[in-house]
Amino acid sequence: MIRIGSLGSRSTALVDERGALFCEALGWSLDWWIGADDRWRVPARENSVRQSRLADGPVVRTAVRVPSGDAVQTAYAVRAPHELVIWEIENDSPAAFVVALVIKGARAVNAAENIIFIDRRWGITTTRPASRWSVGRAEEVDVEVCGGTARTGSFPPTADRAGRITGAFLFPVAHRTRLRFAISLSGSERSAPDIDLATLPDSDAVARGWDAHLARGLRVELPDAQIMSALRSAQAEALLTASRNRPAPDLVAGLEDWGFDAEAATAWARLTTRARRRYRPDLSGATWESLSTNPGDLLRQIRHLLVAENPDEPKIEVLRHYPSSWRGQGVEVHNAPTLWGSVSFAVRWHGDRPALFWDIPVGVELSVPGLDADFVTREPKGEMLLAANRT
């Protein structure tokens, strides 16, 4: 699952690999179904679902095939000023379809005009009222919606203490257009706030904002696109969770390693002394080929492989391991924070020989064991053509 949220917010949500939304603080979830000319598509049961991040930040696009095109859902969070998840459903096809917003696991559901109340709190604001609806147990709603017998007219307030309500709200979406929904992340408002959906930031603007946030820390360029994507995603995850009441120590340490000092300091203060002391990761066995899928561990492993500092004396190793698949391709690291000051370096290739460019604090010893085990320097700045195949 991919976490989405806004910086500084303690409320986040999770998007699963099929585009369903899970609001952690609320208890209910939100799914989406697509009714095309030929049949209904439930992404959880479809083989044609694809998912990606926009610019590797917490902006998630999920697409499912429909005749001659796609239904595309984009999910991201904003604070405007309420904490919201925005869903944009785009009809990227030449024919109209119907999207069903499907609320699952609710204890109470009601609707009035373009407002949907869930568990007696404001839940969703839609662009316009639903054209049809269905409510009941999950299997009943599935049969009614996918069978084309969803109802019209006023929605009946429905309650179930056991939290077994499924409610579906259907909206037609014309070809080559999109529909927008605002979803509460807090579930605290009994009445619906006044939200102008048309003026909320779009996904491209939010993605650009996240690019700017991520650029504040240690910046790197690696020749492996998959690792770069995982790295940026882990940075976004760490920034999102840093503002929670009890952030994970590995994520906080990862923020610190990557230069997000203000967020890390605030997050460390929320951890208990015991939690801080218990976090003692062993990074000695880290390799590029066996990076963790845990965001915090991945951040620390990549940082260790790029820049490893000696806590007892001013010595820094960069590029402890340089994969054979990277040879001939450059690497850049800008402003890596260390105990001894900021470290920057780059690798360029001249045939089979790597050239190292560096900028390190005065008095620090620099080595690059992954490229040339014999190279050592104390020069604060410089460049050197290293030996070929010396590792």
How far is Cα 71 from Cα 370, in angstroms, rounded to an integer?
A: 46
Residues 237 and 277 in one domain: yes
| Assigned domain for 390 exists | no
List pLDDT tens digits, range 259-293: 999 899 888 888 877 777 666 677 888 999 999 99
What is the rounded CA–CA span in Å between residue 374 and residue 263? 38
Q: Are residues 224 and 201 in the same domain?
A: no
Same-domain check for residues 272 and 197 = no
Asked whether residue 391 is domain-assigned, the answer is: no
Concatenating the DSSP letter of every residue in 206-267 gives HHHHHHHHHTTS-EEE-S-HHHHHHHHHHHHHHHHHTTSSS--HHHHHHHHHTT-HHHHHHH
Domain end (from 206, 232, 254): 206
Domain extent at residue 13 = 2-206
Confirm whether 218 is domain-assigned: yes
Please tell me the predicted confidence (pLDDT) of residue 241: 86
Query: How confident is the model over 30-77, as pLDDT tens digits?
Result: 999 999 999 999 999 999 999 999 988 899 999 999 999 999 999 999
| pLDDT of residue 390 exceeding 60 | no
Examine the domain organization and report whether 137 and 226 are in the same domain: no
What confidence score (pLDDT) does residue 278 get? Answer: 67
How would residue 167 be classed by pLDDT, with cut points 50, 70 and 90?
very high
The CATH number assigned to the domain holding 42 equals 2.70.98.10
Are residues 177 and 215 both part of a single domain?
no
- Quick one: pLDDT at residue 275? 73
Buried b / exposed e over 37-76, threshold 16 CB at 10 Å, is: eeebbbbeeeeebebebbbbbbbbbbbbbbeebbbbbbbb
Is 102 inside any structural domain?
yes
Determine the Cα–Cα distance for residues 51 and 20; give it in Å rounded to an integer.
Answer: 12
Among candidate residues 206, 232, 248, the one where a domain is terminated? 206
Residue 298 lies in a domain: yes
Write down the pLDDT at residue 273.
76
Residue 58 and residue 75 share a domain: yes
| pLDDT at 148 (0 to 100) | 96
Of the three residues 206, 238, 259, the one that is the final residue of a domain is 206
Residue 389: the pLDDT is 66
Mean pLDDT rounded to a whole number for the chain: 93
pLDDT of residue 25: 80
